[in-house]
Each structure stands twice: as C-alpha cells, then as structure tokens.
Structure 1
Amino acid sequence: MTDTATLPETAAPVVKAKDVTYIRFSAPDLDVMETFVADFGLVVAHRDDDVLISRGLEPMPFLHVVQRGPAKFIGWAFEVDSEDDLLALAGAVPGCSPVHDIGGAEGQLGGGRRVHFVEPITGFVLEAVYGQQAEPLATRRGRITYNHAGVAERIGVEQDVSGNRRPIQKDPGAPEVYRLGHVVAAVPPGAHQFFMKFLADTFGMLVSDSARMIIPPGAEEHFPPPLVELIKTTGSDVMFQFMRMDRGAADTDHHSILVLPLMDGTPAAQLSHAAFEVFSMDDVFRGHMHFRELATQGAPYSLAWGVGRHVYGSQVYDYWHDPYGHVHEHMCDGDRVDASFGPNVIDMTDPGQMGHNGGNQWGPTVEKSGVHNLNGPQCDPKFADQPDDVRASLLSRDLSEVQHIVDAL
C-alpha cells in the first residue's frame, strides 16, 4: 500500500471547501432525538413526522439533521464558495449528483444549491452546499466577560454564567450552541489513509498535525501489539491527521476534519464524533453538568470524555453519547491558523508529544476517562442494551434502508 505520508501535496484539488456546515443522521424515534438536541443546546428549526432539523446561533439555516429511519450516521456537508465549485464536484467526482436546488424543508429554511455522493472509501454520504442564507439567532445571555489576573473586564457586575445565581439550581441547563466546529471519522486501518488523501484531493484540505507511529527497528515489543499490527497492515506509519480548510491568508479552524484508524475490529467506517462550538469554557462546563444531572435522572446519555483541554487544536472539550451512541462534543477556544501553518508531525512514540494524559493539556487521564469511547457508537456503554436491529444498523454502512433519504437530497 502506498505510504500517504510521502505523497506530494495536491497541486490542484477539485475545490477548496470553506467549512463543514451540517451533519446528517437517521433515527427511528424523532421524539427522543428532539429531546436530545434541546438538551444539547441546539434550536429546532423544523420538525415534522419525517425529519428533525436543528440549528445554532450562527447565520446558517441548520447544522444538525435527523431523518426518520434506522439508527445510522449518514454523513456531513461541506460549504463551498460558489456554484462553480458545485459544478466542478459534479463533473469530477464519480457518482456525484448534478447541481440542484436544496429541496424540502431544508430548502425552505435557507435556500441554496447542493450536490451529494456516496464516498466509496468510507460509505459516508458527503454533500456540498452553496448559497444557504439565514439570520443569526440572538444569544439569551450575551458574551461572557472575565476578570483575568490584573486585568478586570467586569466591574460592578456579578458573574452569572447560567442565569441560576438566584435561586441557585443544581442543573444549570443547556448551553447555547453557536456552530458546527469539526467532524471526526473513524475508518478501518489502511482505508483511513486513502480517505485522508481523498479529502485533500477533492476538498483541498490541508494537514495541520499528522500523527505517526515511528517505531525504531527491533523495538516492536515495547509497543502495544494493535499499534504494531496496524502499521504492518497499512504499510504506512500515518496514524491520524488533523485536517483544515485551505483559506489562504484567512484564518480557519486548526481542524475541520480528523481521520482516525478504527482499532477495535469494527469493519465499517463510523462517526467518531461531531464537535459543536459554544462561546466559553463556562458553557462547556455548563453542558457537562447539565448532561451529568440528566443522566443521573435516567436520560439515555453517557459520558465519553471530558472535561479537558486538548493539546492539538487546544479546544476545551466535553463529549457525550446521544441516545443511539453517537458522540456529540461541546467545545470552545480552538486554535485558528492560516495556510502557512504546519504541517507538523506528532511522533506517537514520544511521550513528550502525545503524553500520558490522552493528548490533554489538562483533563481526565486515559485510565480515568472514556477516551477510548470515540471509535463509534459501539463504544457507548449502552450499546449492548440496544435492540439487535439498532446495533446492526448503527454499525453498517449499507445505505439500502436509507436510500430514499439519499435519493431525496
């Protein structure tokens, strides 16, 4: 297999995507998912018997779509700069749909045009959109100001980040979600490297940080056997890559896509997690306390990892499994970089680069966290309790049961 670490940068990708803009699921119980999105901090923009569409505060019509069907992650959408970009994708990507108006409730919410295709390496349905429009939603609380040591930005005003200072309440309530920050895919070893290359070739994505498992000759016995076998199987030492949009001199998120290798034997690509940006660290902790209280009361949510601060990307994070096991993350304070940044190499065999704390600056240790719960819904502690058909549909990339959804895009 070709070592993707040695491949040259794509000279002319099909397009240079602007951002990730929404994710798409199907689920058998939209009422359960409507409760979840409200608990998570999203705002329902449209609901009928067949679809639940939710948005954040940013001026985009929606960022989370759940359609009635089997429990499954379907895919996500990229925003592009022009209709010419959509035409370029339609002409260059095998199996891509023609450019067409966004229809149904999604089109009524924000207009725009779209293409879509089933990505052959992963089986995810990838979409590209242009021309969507919506007004921003006003935050209920405004931006939080802080008194940093020696620099007071808030004088004569009591800090009340959750609106529960009087009376003090156990549950601070849901935070407000601003936007979709990034999507993380867990892909079978080997295929995950080709998917990275596909993202660079098709959507112009750049590598911010590339994690490599560089094992010196004769040192295999000192590393976990699954990692050693992974390297032998793929023929490349590239384990995962944080990938960002190429916006030239303009700044963009440190990563909009992260591609991980699936290391638990699951045969099909999965959603690792989707990250949603909130305004501040207080909002991340607010979401954590809200979900923790709801779970204590019996809500179908499980902590996956958090609260902590990452090294690569720097986000303050908190991850939770939704009712079907898919991980949703609240995050804030991520790095912003331009096209001149990196690419950097992370040597996973060097404790000084990955650390013994799960890649955290601070947060739960690997032993005390659910960091390993990010390979897909099969890692949810509730997964074994799901009905057989739900478990099967969650892990399968067979789109036959949701073909009507794909055809209607």
Structure 2
Amino acid sequence: MNDSAAPRLSTLQPARHPTPSVKAQRLTHLIFERPDLDEAAHFLSDFGLSVSHRDTDTLYLRAADPSPYCYRIHRAAQARFLGYGLEVGRLGDLDHLTQLQGASAIERIEHPGGGKQVRLLDPSGFIVEAICGQSSSVPLPHRAALSLNLADKQPRINRAQRPPITPPEILRLGHVVIEVADYQATCAWYTQHFGLIPSDIQVLPDGSPIVTFMRLDRGEIPTDHHTLAIAQGFTATYSHSAYEVVDADALGMGQRVLRERGWKHSWGIGRHILGSQIFDYWQDPWADKHEHYCDGDLFTATQPTGIHPVSREAMAQWGQRMPKSFTQPKLTLGNLRMLMRNLRRSPDLTLRKLMALARLFG
C-alpha cells in the first residue's frame, strides 16, 4: 500500500511492493468444480480449448502453448471457481512462500506436468497453487495470423481471406478477474507476496479504488497489461477468465461458431480501453464468463500506474456498450446473507460504495 497514512484506508491506491516475497512468472491454470464434466468439455471444446487428460473425477484442458493444461475441473455437486496457479522462477521461491500464514509445505504435484508446489489461500479465500519445475508439453499447431491489406501496405496480392469455420485455436490462458469484499487486503497480498504491479486502477468519484489491473514483474521482458484483475464486490467470486487467439478473424469466427452451436453470448465484439484487447465474452453452462481476446497491451516493469474514473463507458473504446447484465450479481439467498455479513465485517465494503456502483453500472 501507499506509505501515506493521511487518506482513509478505502481511498489508498494499491501500489507495487518494494521487496516482494517472490515474483510470479506466469498464470498457469484455473481450478473449477463442476457437476457435469461432459457438459464442461462440450462448451470449452467449442470455445477452443482441447481436452488433454481426463480421469473419472478430473478434466484437464489445454491451449496451443507448451503448458500441459491451463484449465482443471474437479467433479463436485455444485459449480464453483476455486482458484488458479502461478508459476515461480525457482525452488527457493517456494521455500519463501512456505513461511506465509496458512501455506502448505512444498509438495510434489500429481497433475500433468508434475513439478513442485506450495498451496496458499489469499485473503479472499481463493486457492493459489504456486508451482515450480512443471514439465512442458509439445505445442499444438495453430494457423498463422492473417495477412492484412492496409491503406499504405498491401502484402496480400492474388490471395483471398478464407479462415476455417472452426472453434478458434486458443494460444494461451491470458488473465483472470476476481471480485472480492476485502479489496485492499487482497490487492496488497498479491503485490507483496507475488510481486504483481498495478498497471491501471479505476476509482469512484470520491477517489476510492474499485478495480486494479495487475501485471507480472519480469523486468524488461514485456508482459500482459494484466494477468490478474481484482474488483470490489460484496463477496469473493469469479468474474471471468480470458484466452488469447491469433487475430481478430479468429475472435470473430469464435463468435460465429459459438452462436451457431447455441451458447449464450455476454458482451462483444469491442476493444477495451485499459489493456486495449479486442474482446468477445461467452457464458459456459453455469453462466461463468469466458473471453476470447487478441491485440492486448504489453508493459515492462518501468511503466507507471495509471489512475482512471470508473464507468460503463470506460470499459470499451468501440463496440457494444457493456450491457447491465455483465456486472449484475447473482441475487441468491446465500449471496444476500454474504452481503449483510461483509457489510458488517469488511473495511472496504460500505452502503455508500455499493450505491455508487449501482449508479454507475445500474
């Protein structure tokens, strides 16, 4: 957090930590629970992932990159998002992480790719599997980006554009977005313990931060504008995850295929303002959002943090305006109970803040 003690806690802006415990190198995988592995595989295969391993109670899917899997699903009675994996650079990093409160000992990984891991819970209760030494798989083939004829450069002569009508080949898992009640503590945990850098922060009219887009710190090696984004919510929940495709035609073809196969569309196509990705969002059978994207921003560690007002208009440069349904919470009895509990408990959650969010996104 910022060192100044003058502002109230709710208006402090998340900031990079000067001496983080370790520096995460990569977002490796997501972890879900689902009651129906076949239905999960159906959607994700249409979305563009490939089933890589499967047993009775666990399903693994991968992208084209060398990671053995990027999406792990455990069979369970209820659909739930559990957390994700972050790769660290060396075994000594795992030793540092075992010293954190609630951390496991260093364990041998039983999932595809093997390696070692330390399991942690972040302040909002999401599982973080810090992994090291995972073996790579053979990359999957994918088509090259289409050659574009531009006004001042026309490389494609006597050749037509005919991309295949198939699910888009997903290159890799790009980022995950979570909502939390304990916003400040959760942001601080990732900056302090995994070295994540706030790329951009969106704030309410009173200056209090509401969304932080965080990137990896890999020095002069460019990294995605955000690998993890954290948004203020009334409880800890999954917002969406994002997967890179080769170009805008792959993204558009993904929309065609998913629409023709009967899946539910959430938002897109458009281009984000923060991160600049061309995006398209779809819902899986449990209404969890999954994003195809291409052409995102890349930053080195020297890029300073930006501060921006939050609004529906601040979400896209062009394309469909963000629909109200995109941010509407699921108003179940359990969620209402959680809202009341967190209003009493969390220093970051107030009725005033909830009312401001409702005015901006309602």
Is the shorter-chain TM-score for this pair beyond 0.5, marking a shared fold? yes
Indicate the residue corresponding to 1:287 in structure 2: 254
Specify the SS of the correspondent of 1:274.
strand
Partner in structure 1 of residue 140 of structure 2: 138
Please say if 1:178 is aligned against 2:179.
no
Counterpart pick for 2:213 among 230, 239, 242: 242
Instruction: Please list, as runs of the form range in 1=range in 2, the aligned pairs for 1:289-368 lying within 5 A after superposition.
Output: 289-295=256-262, 301-348=263-310, 357-366=313-322
Equivalent of residue 199 in structure 1, options 168, 190, 196:
190
Aligned partner of 2:113 among 107, 110, 115: 110
**In structure 1, what residue type is equivalent to 2:195?**
G
The one-character-per-residue Cα deviations of 1:2-34 (angstroms, maximum 9, x if unpaired) are: 246257642211111112111000111101011
**Which residue does 1:373 correspond to in 2?**
326
Q: Which amino acid aligns with 2:92?
A: D
The 1:269–1:375 alpha-carbon spacing in structure 2 relative to 1, beyond 3 Å, is farther
Which consecutive unaligned segments of at least 5 residues does structure 2 have?
A: 1-7, 340-362
Report the Cα offset of residue 145 of structure 1: 1.9
1: distance between equivalents of 2:266 and 2:314?
13
Q: Matches of residues 70-219 of structure 1 in structure 2 within 5 Å?
A: 70-91=78-99, 93-103=100-110, 106=111, 109-119=112-122, 121-162=123-164, 172-188=165-181, 191-215=182-206
Q: Structure 1 residues 357 and 268 mapped into 2: Cα distance closer, same or farther (>3 Å)?
A: closer
TM-score by length of 1: 0.76
2:37 to 30, 52, 57: 30
2: CA distance between counterparts of 1:123 and 1:7? 19
Q: Is the 8 A contact 2:59 2:73 kept in 1?
A: yes
Q: CA RMSD in A?
A: 2.2
CA distance in 1, matches of 2:308, 2:148: 34
Offset of residue 187 of structure 1: 1.2
Partner of 1:166: none
Q: Do the aligned residues in 2 keep the contact of 1:271 with 1:375 (CA within 8 Å)?
A: no
Indicate conservation of the 8 Å contact 1:18/1:81, yes or no: yes
Tell me the SS of whatever aligns to 1:138.
Answer: coil
Distance in 2 (CA, whole Å) between partners of 1:43 and 1:174 is 10
**3-state SS of the aligned residue for 2:102?**
coil
Structure 2: distance between partners of 1:90 and 1:214: 40
Amino acid at match of 1:178: L
Contact 1:200 1:206 in 2 (8 A): yes
- Return the alpha-carbon distance in structure 1 between the equivalents of residues 235 and 13 of structure 2: 26
1:7–1:110 distance in 2 versus 1, CA, 3 Å? closer
Residue 320 of structure 1 and its aligned partner are, at CA, apart by: 0.9
User: Does structure 2 retain, via aligned residues, the 8 Å contact 1:4–1:194?
Assistant: no
Aligned length, in residue pairs = 329
Q: Secondary structure at the match of 1:152?
A: coil
Q: Which runs of 5+ in 1 are unaligned?
A: 163-171, 216-235, 296-300, 349-353, 397-409
Q: Is the 2:118–2:129 contact (alpha carbons within 8 Å) kept by the matching residues of 1?
A: yes
Is this contact kept in 1: 2:22–2:194, CA < 8 A?
Answer: yes
Query: CA offset at residue 141 of structure 1?
Result: 2.7
Tell me the secondary structure at the aligned position of residue 81 of structure 1. coil
**Counterpart amino acid of residue 167 in structure 2:** A
Residues 284-337 of structure 1: per-residue CA shift (max 9 Å, x gap): 111111111122xxxxx3222111100100000011110111111111110001
Q: Distance in 2 between matches of 1:148 and 1:255?
A: 29
Aligned to 1:66: 73
Structure 1 residues 9 and 65: CA distance shift in structure 2, 3 A: closer
The one-letter code sitting in structure 2 at the alignment partner of 1:328 is: H
Which residue identity does 1:364 align to in structure 2? Q
The corresponding residue for 1:54 is 61
SS of 2:259's partner is helix
Distance 1:365 1:196, change over 3 A: same
Structure 2 length-normalised TM: 0.85
Structure 2 counterpart of 1:405: none
Counterpart CA distance in 1 for 2:202 and 2:275 is 13
Aligned to 1:42: 49
C-alpha deviation, 1:113, in angstroms: 1.2
The 1:7–1:74 alpha-carbon spacing in structure 2 relative to 1, beyond 3 Å, is: closer
Aligned partners of 1:4 and 1:193 also within 8 Å: no
In 2, the alpha carbon distance for the partners of 1:9 and 1:38 equals: 37
Contact persistence 2:14–2:198 (CA under 8 A) = no
